[in-house]
Structure 1
Amino acid sequence: MKLSQFKFKLPEDLIAKYPAKNRDESRLMVLHRKTGEIEHRIFKEVINYFDDKDIFVFNDTKVFPARLYGNKEKTGAKIEVFLLRELNEENRLWDVLVEPARKIRIGNKLYFGEDDSMVAEVIDNTTSRGRTLRFLFDGTHDEFKEALYKLGETPLPGYINRPVDEEDAERYQNIYAKNEGAVVTPAAGLHFSRELLKRMEIKGIEYGFLTLHSGLGNFREIDVEDLTKHKMDSEQMIVTPTLVEFVNHAKDTNHQVCAVGTSVMRAIESTVSTDGHMKAYNGWTNKFIFPPYDFTVATSLITNFHMPYSTMLMMAAAFGGYDAVMKAYDIALKEKYHFGAYGDAMLII
């Protein structure tokens, strides 16, 4: 497959700037893989496609307030710092991106907060935009993290072109989010409300959790036409023996396994053994899934409508079939579905 095969024109007004009023009342397009049939539903009707002992797999990663604004020493220049991950707890070292990168050198100090209460020193240049910062802070690690996160804001994707508001801290987070470490929310899960989870339980639909800390690599532009030459950024993931047993049993008893989001699908496929079953794993994955690809565990996928050229669109096309998914996207554009993290959902079944 070529990068140019995932091009389509997305009008600005179809990119969702705000979430739906109620999580489970976004629109839902259902694409049937075998027939190509398409249905238009409301998201909470998703459970109509599943039965007793079917299983949903969620990603319970938790997004932290990763975007900070600071000032450079002496010049006072405004610098955006995007926290990627903590490298060393004891020494307060963080892997970050900075903008504008050209203004930041090793040895520069950055000040954060109205009273410059947080100070960081640049100690390494890792890429053209990436840096390692050492935060200077007296206190426990918990106190440091609390102070740091108070300065940060919810890291909405750049295509949601508006200021962050108070509601985003809650709505750009799944209701079951638990394990902190993501800078990108697994958006397919944003459609699940507590009421919907309860209705799933009543119907006998089961669910389990894995953790994959979604990073900014999801939004990094692919700069090669030949997709086999693209390298994904590595992301940390944990798949427990309990979930593995749960999912493999569902597979062996011919029940549906629904991956809620492309991050879940990626994690599942990163752990599949030669016999087609999942195995427990705690480590990193840089798996890149694009058509054609044979999926061995999940029987259905819930995902949002993604940006042109994105790796998430490529995975959806790999699962649903390239022609069927691109046709579904044409229909979504005509029917004015909303795209992006705060947008509408698709069930590929």
Structure 2
Amino acid sequence: MKTSDFDYHLPAERIAQTPIEPRDASRLLVVHRDSGQLEHRTFADIGEYLHAGDILVANDSRVLPVRLHGRKESGGQVELLLLNQVNEVRWEALVRGHRLRPGVVIELAAVAAPLLRAKIVDVLPAGSRLIEFDRPPLPELERLGDVPLPPYIHTPLADRERYQTVYARVHGSAAAPTAGLHFTPALIERLQAQGVRFAFVTLHIGLDTFRPLQVEQIADHQMHSEWAELTAPAADAINASRRAGGRCVAVGTTAVRVLEAASRQSNAIGDLRPFSGWTSLFLTPGADFYAVDALITNFHLPRSTLLMLVSAFAGKPLIDRAYAAAVREGYRFFSFGDAMLLV
């Protein structure tokens, strides 16, 4: 298939700039894969489509405040966006500023925070930089950094916790697992009270996950890698729920990637075993899904790997029809937008 097959027209006013309050007041487009029926609901109604014994599997990764502002030791403003951690002091980063060559030292400071220095070590093939800090930066990020919002969001965020899920706990992402932003503690309690179980996986999201493909032939795309983990207790809980007749409902495409990557490591495909490591799994139409029975997801960017994944799960013609209905009915798109439930 071609990348252009996954393009669609989206009016700019459909791109959500701010989160809705409360979180579960967002709209929910329910897509029935067997019949093709579409239902327009509210996310707070999602329990009507879940049953006792189902298990919701969500990504508990937390967004790091990895957008940093500083200045070159020799003068001049610099912006850093940390992408991937190489070791305790080395990171891959996007940089903005003039003459940011290897050897340049950047000073980062904030009120009540000690000075942190970062040296550019190398220019990487994609244009990013390899940065080495004078000490591990993670303890200082909460004071020095800002949470990086996607480039299509232009309105400043009043409360940066609104770009975190209520269950985020494992620091490591450069972007939020946005399908989970719709859950509130009260909604989680209601679902648990009706017999729906929860399990958590971890996938640290890189910014590449949102970038449109740059190649026309999908087969030519080199998928980025992201670090993921499925623990033994989570795997056991998911296996037990499915064996008892419950559905594994993935909360977001990142949870899908963890579950489907884990299912493919075993000779008994679909039998989940613990998994920890990097995954570059790229799911496109025609792919088989061994671990996921239903999916909660947001509306994704045109030409993105995420749109290809949901098209693989529900079928491209049905997703095309659902997206057209969402545009026509005024749904809000992307990170702070509304949700879909694919059952």
Which TM-score tier does this pair reach, normalised by the shorter chain? over 0.9
- The residue number in structure 2 matching 1:51 is 51
Matches of 2:281 and 2:126, distance apart in 1: 24
Question: Letter of the aligned partner of 1:325 in structure 2?
Answer: I
Q: 2:315 aligns with which of 293, 299, 321?
A: 321
Contact 1:51–1:205, Cα closer than 8 Å, also in 2: yes
The residue that corresponds to 2:128 in the other structure is: 130
- Residue 94 (structure 2) aligns with: 97
Deviation at 1:297, TM superposition (A): 1.7
Which AA in structure 2 matches 1:106?
Answer: P
**CA-to-partner distance for each residue in 1:275-312, whole Å, 9 max, x for gaps?**
32212111110001111212122110000011111111
Contact 1:98-1:129 within 8 A present in 2 as well = no
Q: Which amino acid in the other structure matches residue 130 of structure 2? A: T
Structure 2 partner of 1:25 = 25
Q: Distance in 2 between matches of 1:8 and 1:251?
A: 36
Which of the residues 141, 148, 167 maps onto 2:141? 148
Aligned to 1:160: 153
Counterpart mapping for 1:179-328 below 5 A: 179-272=170-263, 273-275=266-268, 276-328=270-322
Letter in 2 for 1:205: V
The Cα of 1:113 is off from its aligned counterpart by 2.7
**Superposition deviation, residue 228 in structure 1:** 1.5
User: Residue deviations 1:301-330, cap 9 Å, x none?
Assistant: 000011111111111111111000011000
**Structure 1: distance between partners of 2:3 and 2:195:** 41
Q: Residue by residue, what CA displacement relative to the aligned partner does 1:220-255 show, whole Å, maximum 9, x if unpaired?
A: 331111111211111001111111111112222221
Partner SS state of residue 180, structure 1: strand
Output one character per residue of 1:11-60: Cα deviation in whole Å (capped at 9) or x when no partner.
11100000011111100000000110000000011111111111000100
Paired residues of 2:296 and 2:339 also in contact (CA < 8 A) = yes
Answering whether residue 342 of structure 2 is matched by residue 345 of structure 1, we say: no
Deviation of 1:114 (Å): 5.6
Q: Which residue of 2 aligns with 1:88?
A: 87
> RMSD in angstroms over aligned alpha carbons?
1.6
Unaligned runs of 5+ in 1: none
Distance 1:282 1:105 in 2: 35
Letter in 2 for 1:212: L
Partners of 2:197 and 2:212 lie apart in 1 by 36
What is the identity percentage for the equivalent residue pairs of Structure 1 and Structure 2?
38
8 Å contact from structure 1 (residues 251, 297) kept in 2: no
- Report the Cα offset of residue 74 of structure 1: 2.4
Check whether the contact 2:250–2:292 (CA below 8 A) recurs between aligned residues: yes
CA distance in 2, matches of 1:147, 1:279: 36
Paired residue type of 1:295 = F
Instruction: State the AA in 2 paired with 1:300.
Output: A
Is the Cα contact below 8 Å between 2:64 and 2:141 reproduced in 1? Answer: no
Does the CA-based 8 Å contact 1:28-1:346 persist in structure 2? yes
Identify unmatched segments of 5+ residues in structure 2.
Answer: none
- Determine the C-alpha separation between the residues in 1 that align with 2:212 and 2:73: 32
- Post-superposition shift, 1:4? 0.7
1:74 equivalent in structure 2: 74
Question: 1:318-348 CA deviation, whole Å, 9 max, x = no partner?
Answer: 1111000011000000001000110000000
Aligned to 1:117: 115
Task: Check conservation: 1:257, 1:300, Cα contact below 8 A.
Answer: yes
SS of corresponding position for 1:198: helix
User: In structure 1, what is the equivalent of residue 327 of structure 2?
Assistant: 333
**Partner SS state of residue 86, structure 2:** strand
1:44-82 CA-to-partner distances (Å, cap 9, x unmatched) read 111111111110001001111011122223241x22211
**SS state at 2:58 partner:** strand
Take 1:207 and 1:343, find their aligned partners in 2: how far apart are those partners?
23
The one of 97, 100, 107 equivalent to 2:103 is 107
In structure 2, what is the equivalent of residue 15 of structure 1?
15
Higher mean alpha-carbon deviation, 192-201 vs 251-260, is at 251-260
1:279 alignment partner AA: R
Q: CA deviation at 1:128?
A: 4.1
How far residue 173 of structure 1 moved from its aligned partner, in angstroms, is 0.3
* Cα deviation 1:151-181 (Å, max 9, x = unaligned): 111110001123x3331x1100011011110
**Post-superposition offset of 1:103:** 2.2
